[in-house]
Chain A
Amino acid sequence: MLQLQRITKVFNPGKATEVIAVQDTTLRLEAGSFTVLVGANGSGKSTLLNLIAGSIYADRGKVLLNDREIQRLPDYRRSQWIARVFQNPLTGTASSLSILDNFRMAALRRVPKWLKLGADAAFKRSVAEKVETLGMGLEHKLAQPMGTLSGGQRQALTLLMTTMADVDILLLDEPTAALDPRSAREVMGIADRIVRENNLTALLVTHNIAEALRYGTRLIQMENGKIIRDCDQQAKLALKQTDVVSWFDYY
């Protein structure tokens, strides 16, 4: 369970360019829930995600993961519990490293990396089995550098990499924004499957309303750094696409 308690984040405080990105926000994500976060550009969605991941630190407030305060930990410490998939498919994987080496790093996300040759035959087999579940035929190309793969393939592998170690939270920051419709559908299908199979607590940021309605057990809208709508599973099922689109017509 992830809790945000009265989180505030202000960029450029005291200057003319001051932006209150997240304002006194409290949010509680239950274990095993899949929350979808929508909102206009600049509404604070990505900042909220970065605050949870630890790429930026909150000015005020607490972040609790299973009742443990983590708001002062840097992102590379939080990553032992929190996995994330980035908007840019090139960010989540290392281009010049092989698929196998990328998975090796993902398998060691919770432990230090020692001077040990870990990518042995048994490890390779276990990765091949996992990659096979994607149905992309990549299990025969484990030695190939990530850079030679398409954005959709890399995003799918980034998702799969999060299952190499036991994580609690999966943050999805517009994972399909840079993908074509078919790859987007595939990647979201994989994300949904991974969240269910591993019973992860997931948070998806998206601008795609159809995706927002189709996936997840809860829907939240942010505006000006605050959560202004919060729909549980029942309310979410009753929503239609036009309803959600109308949320953005406030001018």
Chain B
Amino acid sequence: MDFYLAAIIQALCLGPLVIGLFLSMKIFNIPDITADGSYTLGAVITAVGLANGFSPLVTLLLAMLGGAVAGSWTAWIHTRLRIHALLAGILVMTALYSVNLVLLGRSNKPLIGYQDLFAAFRVFADADHNALAVLSVGSAILFFCMSYLLRSDFGIAMRATGDSEPMIRAQGVNPARMKVYGLAIANALVAWSGSLMAQFQGFTDINMGIGIVISGLGAVIIGDTLMNFLKIRAIPAMLGCVLLGVMIFQSILAIALSAGVDANLLKLTTALLVLLIVALPRVGSVMQFGRR
């Protein structure tokens, strides 16, 4: 049971990340790979902040600020220098590796003994239950803030930017600036996740961001499938689906691990799982093709 509780806690840690990826990939239609770097950046800033005695909330804000700067760099390279978003993201992600290494000073830093977010809000004596409570509150704040943001006039403009650029230009919005805001928000959320994960697992590792985009994407696609299946169009319900998606995704991974999959094969399992999720809707048409 503890095993699955850990999976749900991990899913809640990744909640901001999947909402961020939902924003960049689904709403803005930008394949943003920066997340691999900004996730680690969030964790690194958290480690440095906590080690220097900053309060956990201030540290979290600094981490999100760092993610926002990384995201705006990607958007700036993409919109001003007209470089493909994928390449812009890879460039920033690669650069962030060195930035992270310099900030952290070494490749791995334990956070044991520091006053972290979970210790700051101690409601339950049991660490896991306490983490669950703190993360649930955090997820609720995330959910309400994002559903307000996306329903506001500014949010409608963001959604329209990903939909039809000529349309939104004709309504007086500069899409380049909109993309900078969008990727900044998305990567701030990703860094939020990195910070939570570092505090939950008790250390920051320079390689912890590798493949995180894929894990997040798997969750977003599960959420997207749910939306299509349930014919959901309201913004809060869409965000709910994405958050549900990350829970499902992490639970499947937990089941796979408990069924005896070698932990070294975790990334391979993740990649295969995402492939399965992406390919599943197409399997039907392949079978139809075979019948022709």
Contacts and interface: CB of A to CB of B under 8 A. Distances in A.
Interface stretch (B67-75, B146-154, B213-221): B146-154
Given A95-B164, A97-B159, A97-B163, A79 B152 contact: no
A101 B173 CA distance: 15
A112 B156 CA distance: 12
Main secondary structure of the interface of A (DSSP, over half): loop
Contact of B166 (A77, A91, A109): A91
Contact of A113 (B156, B163, B167): B156
Contacts of B154: 113-116
Contacts of A110: 172
A92 B156 contact: no
- Interface size band for B: 20 to 34
Contacts of A116: 152-154
A218 to B, nearest CB: 24
Contact of A109 (B163, B164, B172, B175): B172
Interface string B166-182: 11111111110000000
B152 A118 contact: yes
Contacts, number: 96
Contacts of A104: 153, 156
B200 to A, nearest CB: 31
B80 interface: no
Contacts of A92: 164, 166-167, 170
A223 interface: no
A118 B153 contact: yes
Contacts of B172: 76-77, 79-80, 108-111
Contact of B173 (A76, A90, A95, A145): A76
A64 B81 CA distance: 30
B169 A75 contact: yes
A98 B233 CA distance: 9
Contacts of A106: 171
Contacts of A70: none
Given A74-B174, A76-B172, A117 B167 contact: no
A118 to B, nearest CB: 5
Given A94-B164, A94-B167, A95-B164, A114 B159 contact: no
B153 A93 contact: no
Given A98-B233, A117-B148, A145-B233, A75 B156 contact: no
B157 interface: yes
Contact of B157 (A79, A83, A113, A119): A113
A33 B272 CA distance: 63
Given A94-B164, A113-B153, A117-B151, A84 B159 contact: no
B99 to A, nearest CB: 30
Which of A113, A118, A143 has the most chain B CB within a 10 Å cutoff? A113
A86 B152 CA distance: 27
A115 B233 contact: no
A104 B169 CA distance: 14
Query: A-B pairs with the 6 shortest C-beta distances?
Result: A94-B163, A113-B153, A94-B160, A113-B157, A105-B171, A109-B172
Given A79-B169, A79-B172, A94-B163, 20 more contacts: A55-B169, A76-B172, A79-B170, A79-B171, A83-B170, A86-B166, A91-B167, A94-B159, A94-B167, A95-B163, A97-B156, A97-B159, A97-B160, A105-B156, A105-B171, A105-B173, A109-B170, A115-B153, A116-B152, A116-B153
25 contacts: A76-B169, A76-B173, A76-B174, A77-B172, A79-B172, A91-B164, A93-B167, A94-B159, A94-B160, A95-B164, A97-B160, A105-B156, A105-B168, A109-B172, A110-B172, A111-B172, A113-B152, A113-B153, A114-B154, A116-B154, A117-B148, A117-B152, A118-B152, A119-B151, A145-B233
